[in-house]
Structure 1
Amino acid sequence: MRRTILAILIVLGVIVIDQLIKFDIKTTFMLHEDYVVARDWFHILFTENRGMAFGMQFVGTMFLALFRVVAIGLFCVLLSRLIQRKAPYGLIVCVAMIIAGAAGNIIDNMFYGLIFTESTPYFPAQLVPFGQGYGSFLSGKVVDMFYFPLFTWPDWVPLFGGNTFFGAIFNFADASISCGAVALVLFYHKYISHMGLLKK
């Protein structure tokens, strides 16, 4: 029971925090507006994307949204089995964070096109009556805002010269997925493989 409550609290907590941040950015920032938080290494830079996490653009919005739905379903099955088998609390936290992050981004895909006007470099988006937004169901753009351009590689460095180290722009949901996935691989991959949790 405690593991179930923990998982629910993490999923709801991440989704609520993620959506509050996105709503604030979406309705107060103009597209590509850049606010420097800490010198030149931490920015709030409002961008939107239709593709993968961290602003990458590989596939269409609807395909990605459907992929996320399937992925969430699989991880929910995994989480349910982990809870039934009384898996370590840390493992429950990792899987719940991945589910919550994926859900946070799919909310953007599902509803933002229906409830917001288009973000532009001149005006922040506005909340509008349901169905009167810039797009349709599953066509919404994912809101990103966290940018950490820690440093620029020297020009003489092969392949990376002149590029920004970690130039990705991401959101709270992306961070939740990444942290959960990294911790899962580092600390619990043997547990999952030994238990055969992805098999019936």
Structure 2
Amino acid sequence: MSIKKSVLLIVLVLLVDQVSKIYIKTHFVLGESVEVFEWFKIHFIENSGAAWGAKLNDFLPISENTAKVILTVFRLFAVAGIGYWLYDSIRKHSSKTLVLAVSLIFAGALGNIIDSVFYGILFNDSISQVATLFSEEPYGGLFFGKVVDMLYFPMIDTIWPDWVPYFGGKSFSFFDPVFNIADTAISTGVGILLVFNKKAFAHKTKEEAFAEDQDLEKQ
């Protein structure tokens, strides 16, 4: 996979991700939900922490603001590392499967970083109101943005039968996480690496690498 195709894929994922987030921020109130299908809803939430809404200050004796800065800086270093991995993979003519997977992971990570770094100074808050882009009263500062999530798939939402030990009468739902396009890209990339591990990390012969060099020169 050439660097041009990789960049095109990254730009496409970022475009869809950011357009969807900006639309949700400027058309939905925080917590608002629209049912598309019984098993799929557009449900607007914001995540100021890591995966599953976890926050560093839940585990460490630090303030929420400090935890947010640490998490954002960590994400920036992680994106830089993934970006180098992608560059190195293309430079070494790694398999198309590996380059595809890393491109998706990089695009997804970068998409969420944009929220974390810039959304706090671009939007006012969405509590009881629809947010405004380029607001004169932004809800945070640089590095203090919240990640916008909206894709919700409550495929199962029911009550355990009374005869089930311990769980009887309690509610049960699947799939609870609310996520976004960037998260989907990351999960897809990781899934490709797990499922097609041997193909992704296969070593190429000198002849195959030379053939790819010739193809790149022609592009």
TM-score normalised according to structure 1 size: 0.86
Aligned equivalent of 1:178, options 187, 193, 217: 187
How large is the Cα RMSD of the aligned pairs?
2.3
Q: What letter matches 1:38 in structure 2?
A: F
Change (3 A) 1:191 1:170: closer
Residue matched to 2:53: 56
| Residue-by-residue CA offset, 1:7-62 (whole Å, 9 max, x unaligned) | 111111111110000000000001100100012x1000000011123x42232322
Matching of residues 16-95 of structure 1 within 5 Å:
16-39=15-38, 41-53=39-51, 55-59=52-56, 60-95=67-102
Structure 2 distance, partners of 1:95, 1:157, is 44
After superposition, residues 132-171 of structure 1 pair within 5 angstroms as 132-152=137-157, 154-155=159-160, 156=164, 162-171=171-180
Cα separation, partners in 2 of 1:57 and 1:14, compared to 1, 3 Å: same
Q: Gapped runs of 5+ residues in structure 2?
A: 57-66, 205-219
3-state SS in 2 of match to 1:139:
coil
Q: Residue deviations 1:115-161, cap 9 Å, x none?
A: 100111x211112357x411011100100000000003652377796
Please tell me the residue identity of whatever aligns with 2:132: Q
Greater Cα radius of gyration, structure 1 or 2: 2
* SS of equivalent residue, structure 1 residue 47: strand
Rounded to whole Å, the distance in 1 between the matches of 2:139 and 2:198 is: 42
CA distance in 2, matches of 1:43, 1:127: 24
1:124 corresponds in structure 2 to 130
TM-score, normalisation: structure 2: 0.79
Secondary structure at the counterpart of residue 41 of structure 2: strand
Question: Given the superposition, is the C-alpha separation of residues 146 and 88 from structure 1 closer, same or farther in structure 2, using an over 3 Å criterion?
Answer: same
| CA distance in 2 between partners of 1:34 and 1:186 (Å) | 34
Alpha carbons 1:117, 1:133 under 8 Å: kept: yes
Residue 109 of structure 1: CA displacement?
A: 0.7
Residue correspondences, number: 190
CA distance in 2, matches of 1:66, 1:123: 30
Question: Judging changes above 3 Å, is the alpha-carbon distance between structure 1 residues 154 and 139 closer, same or farther for their aligned structure 2 residues?
Answer: same
Letter in 2 for 1:187: F
Percent identity, aligned pairs only? 36
Offset of 1:99 from its aligned partner?
0.5
